[in-house]
A and B are shown apart, each in its own frame.
Chain A
C-alpha cells in the first residue's frame, strides 16, 4: 500500500501531462490549469503520507517499480529510495510546487498557450520528482535531464522573442556541459562498483581509492555546477529570467537549481572520502556567493537581481557542503525555497500589476497601491537578508557558524561579506520598488491593481513559511530538522567541536550586525539621501560599469570558447569542401582523364580492330544480301534447288549412287 503511494507521487503529474497534452485543446484552458494544479495537490497529499511514514521510521526503504535494464553485468532498476533526505525534498518540491501551480493559474490567465505552459510545468514536476526519489544514479540522471529539458521549454515559452530562444538554448547547452561531467561520473561509478544503486555504492564506498573518489566526485561536481549555476557555469541562470515568472520561481529558484546541492548531499559518502573535492566545493561555493552578490548590487531588472541572489544563495549551500555542514546545506535549501519562491512570485505580482514592467527604475512608491504584495515582499526580503527570527537567519547563520567553528576563516569571511551585500541589495530592491516617488509610466499607473486571491493566497502561505520555517532548525545544529536528517547527512568523519554557548551567541550577534548594517546602508542611500547612489556610480564609473556588465564574463566566454569553436567548425567545413571533396573530385578528374584516354584507345585501337572485323562482316553480309531479293519466285527456285541437292546428298550417303 505504502509502495503504491510512493509510485503515485510522480504518476499524478504524469497523468495530468498526458490528459492536458493530448486532450487539452478540447476543453477550456482554465480546466487545464485546475487539472495541473490538482495533480500536484494529490502528489503533495501522497508525499505527506509517505513522509509521515519516514518520520516514524527513518530507515531507508527502496521501492522498485520495475526492472529497467537487467541482464549480464548490467542491472538497473527503475526504483525509488525513500529516506529522510528524499522526504525533505519531496515536501519542498510538491509543497512549493503546488503553491506555484495555483499562483500560475492567476498569473498566466489569458496568455497564449496556457495549456502548453501547464503541460511543461507538470512534466517538470515529474522529472523533478524522479530526480529526488530515484534509488540509483541513472534514475537521478533521467530526472536531471528531464528538468533541463523542461527548463529549456519554459525559458523559451515566449517563442517569438529572440532573446528568450537564445536564453533557452544557452541554458540547455551550458547544462549539457555539466551533464557531460555527470555522465562521466556515472560510469566511473559503474566501472568501480558494477552497480549504480545508491545503497550498494555507499556500502562499498570505503573500498575506493582516494584518487578514484576524487575523480568521481569532481565529475559529479561538474554536473552540480552546471545545474546549480555556480562559477564558472552560472551565466545561464540570469538569462533564464526570460521565462514566465512562476517558472523562475519554481525552476530557477526553489527546485531545479538546488538539484546540484541535493546531489552533493546524496553522494556525500563519496565526497567525505575526497578532501580535495570537498575543498573545491567549498571554494566554488564561497566565491560564487560573493561574486554573484556583487553583480546583484547594481542590476536594474527586478528578476535579474533575484536571479543573482539565487546564484549567490546557492553558493552558500555549496559552501556548506564544502565544510561538511550537509544538514545546514539542506536546511538552507528548504528555507531558500520558501523565501525565494515568495520573492519571485511577489515580484511576479508586481510585474503583473505594472503590465509587464520589470525595470525597477520605472517603479517606486508601490507600497500603498499594492499593500499585500508589498507586505509579502518585505517579509521575503527580511528573510533572505538574515533578520531574526525569520527563516533565512537561522539557516545562513548555521552555515557561517559552521565554517567559522571548523576554522574555514577565509570561507567565513566570503560568506560574511556576501551576507552584507545580500542584505544591502535586497533592501535596495525593496526601497526602489516600493518606496519613494513613483516613477511609473502614467498610462500604466492608472491600472495598477492588487493581484487576485488565487495569486495572493499562495503568497501569504509562503510568507508564513518564510517566517516560521526557520524554527524547524532551532536550536542551531540540534533542532528537529537535524535529528530528522541525522541518519543521511552526517559526515563520515564528523569532527565534534565543543563549542561554548558564548561563541554561538557571538557569531549570531555578528550575523545580525551584518544584516542590519546592510539594511542601514540601503536605508541611507535610498531613503534618507536619495541620489547618493547615483553620485557614487558616477564617481566610480569603472567599477559600476564592470558590475553592470557582469564582469564581462559572457563576452569573455564568447571570445574564448564560442568563437574558437565556431571558427574551428568553419575551418572543418572548409576542409570538407575544399580538401576532402576536392580530393574526391580529383579522383573524378582522374577518372575523367583516363576515361578520355580509354575513349581514344577505344575509338582508334579497339574500334579499329573491331571495324576490320566489322567490315569483313559487312562484306559478307553484302554478298548474302544479294540472295534475299524478296521475290517469291526466287525463293521458290532456291527451295527447289535446295530440295534437289538435299535429295541428292541423301541418296549418295544412303546408297552410294548418284542420280547425276
Chain B
C-alpha cells in the first residue's frame, strides 16, 4: 500500500500532464479539473506516505526497485526516509495550492498546467530517488520547466517598459539585452535561472560521476554506494566540494544566490511558490542524500564551510530584503536568507539541529508559499509589486490581510506555527558548535521581522491610492482554499509536531551517528513489492 502510494505521488502529476495533452484548450474548466484531480491525488497519496512512515523502523521505506540498466548499474529505485517523506508532502501541498492559485490564468492554461505538473513531479522525484542517476535526471528535469514558466507566463519588473532604444524600439529581443541590460525582464530572469542552475548541476554531475567511477562497484544505487564506497583524502574533498557547491547553488547559498530573487520576481505566483517552497530545498536535500550518505568523513571535515557561508546568507539576504521595494524581491531575498538557517542546522551535525533543519525546510515551504501566493494575488489585482505605490489594501482585502499577517508570523517563527519548532531546534542544536552563528541567526529573526512587517505596513496599512479601488479580496473558495490549506498545515504541525519530529529524527540519528563515527551504516532491507 505504501509503495503504491509513493508511486502514485510521483506519477499522478506526470499522468495529469499526459492527460492534459489530450484536453482541448477551449475547455479551461476541464483542464483545471484534470490538474486538480492529479494534484489532489498526489496530495492524498503523499499524506498517506507521511502518516504511514514508521518512525520506529526508520530508514528507507516503501521502496520500489526496477533494474533499468544492469551493465551501467542504473535502476529505477525509489523510497523515502524521514527526510524525504516530509519534503514530498510539502511538494504536494504546494502543488495542490499552486493549481488553485493559478486558477485565473487565461493565457494557454493547458500548457501552463502541464509544465507546472511536470515541475512538481520532477521535484517529488528528486525527494524519493535512491539512485544517483535518477536523482540527477529529476533534478535537471525540474529546472527546465522553470525556463518556460518564467519566459512565457512570468512578469517583468517595474521600469522594464521604459527600456527602449533611441528609435523607440523595445530592446527585449536582442541577445545583448537579455544577457546584460534587461535585468528587469522575465526573459533575462528565465535565462539567468536556467544557466545558473544548469551550471551548478554540471558540477554536481561531475561529483556524481567521480563517485561512480571510483567506487568499487559500478553502480548509481545510493544504498549500495553508502555501504561499499569509501573515499578519503583529496579525492573525497574534490567530490565533496563539487557535490556541495553544485547542489548549493540551487539552495541558494551566498554568494551563489543572485539568480534566485530575479527568478522569484519574474515567475508567476504558483511557480514562485514551488520554486521557493521546494525547488530550493532540492539543494539541501541532495547535499544530505549524496554528501551525508556517501561521503560522511568529508562531510564532517568540510561542513564548516557551510557554517561560514550561512552567516552571510542570513544577514546579507535580510538586509537586502529590507531595502527591496518589490514585494517578490523582499520575499525572494527573505527566502535566501532563511535558507541560511537550514545550512546552519545542517552544518552543526547535531541531532536536534539537523532535525530542525529538515522541519525548517517543510515550514519554510509553507510560509513562503503563502507569501508568494498572496503577493501574486496583490499583483493580479493591482498590476504592481512596487511597495511604495501600494497601501491601505486591508480595506479591500480583509481576508488576505489577515492571511498575510499569519504568513508573516509563520515566516518569523511565531510560536504556534511549525516554523517556531524548527527555528528553536536549529538554534538549540547549533549552539554548542557555532555560538556565533546562533547569535547571528537570532538577530536575523529580528531582521526578518523588520522587513516583513515593513512590507506588511506598506501593502495593507495607510491610505490607498484611488487607482487600486477596484482591487478585490479573495472571495471565491478556489482562491481561499489554497491559503487555508497552507495555513492549516503550518499551524497544525506547530501545535502537534510529534509525529513529524519522530519521523525526521528516525533518519537523522543513524545518519549523524555515522558521520560522527559512532556507528556503521545500517544495512537497508531492499526487497520491494516489485521485482
Contacts and interface: CB of A to CB of B under 8 A. Distances in A.
B393 to A, nearest CB: 10
Interface stretch (B87-95, B365-373, B455-463, B472-480): B455-463
Given A162-B461, A169-B457, A187-B424, A69 B319 contact: no
Q: Could you tell me the dominant secondary structure of chain A's interface residues?
A: helix
A243 interface: no
Interface stretch (B59-67, B212-220, B226-234, B494-502): B494-502
B498 A565 contact: no
Interface of A: 67-74, 138, 141-142, 145-146, 149, 152-153, 156, 159-160, 162, 164-166, 168-169, 172-173, 176-177, 179-180, 183-184, 186-188, 190-191, 565-566, 568-570, 572-573, 576, 580-581, 584-585, 588-589, 592
Interface in B498-531: 498, 501-502, 505, 509
Interface stretch (B22-30, B132-140, B378-386, B413-421): B413-421
Contact of B446 (A142, A173, A188): A173
A187 B453 contact: no
Interface stretch (B39-47, B165-173, B264-272, B427-435): B427-435
Contact of A146 (B416, B427, B462): B416
Interface in B438-469: 438-439, 442-443, 445-446, 449-450, 453-454, 456-457, 460-463
Contacts of B255: 580
Kindly state the interface size class of chain B when it binds its partner.
35 or more
Nearest to B456: A169
A588 B179 contact: yes
B300 interface: no
Contacts of A168: 457, 461
B458 to A, nearest CB: 9
A124 B515 CA distance: 45
B287 interface: no
A576 B260 CA distance: 12
B462 A165 contact: yes
Given A149-B409, A162-B463, A187-B424, A180 B320 contact: no
Q: Could you tell me the dominant secondary structure of chain B's interface residues?
A: helix
Interface in B261-287: none
Contacts of B176: 592
A187 B431 CA distance: 8
A187 B428 CA distance: 5
A569 B258 contact: no
13 contacts: A73-B351, A146-B416, A159-B392, A168-B457, A168-B461, A173-B449, A179-B445, A180-B446, A183-B427, A183-B442, A187-B428, A570-B323, A584-B258
Contacts of A186: 424
Nearest to B179: A588
Interface of B: 176, 179-180, 183, 192, 196, 255, 258, 316, 319-320, 322-324, 351-352, 392, 394-395, 405, 409, 412, 414-416, 420-421, 424-425, 427-428, 431-432, 438-439, 442-443, 445-446, 449-450, 453-454, 456-457, 460-463, 495, 497-498, 501-502, 505, 509
Contact of B258 (A74, A159, A576): A576
Nearest to B401: A159
Contacts of B409: 149
A573 B320 CA distance: 5
A69 B421 CA distance: 9
A97 B322 CA distance: 37
B462 A572 contact: no
Nearest to B393: A159
B446 A165 contact: no
B392 A581 contact: no
A573 B502 CA distance: 41
Contact of A191 (B192, B405, B421, B428): B428
Nearest to A145: B415
A176 to B, nearest CB: 4
Which of A146, A184, A576, A589 has most chain B Cβ within 10 Å?
A576
Nearest to A580: B258
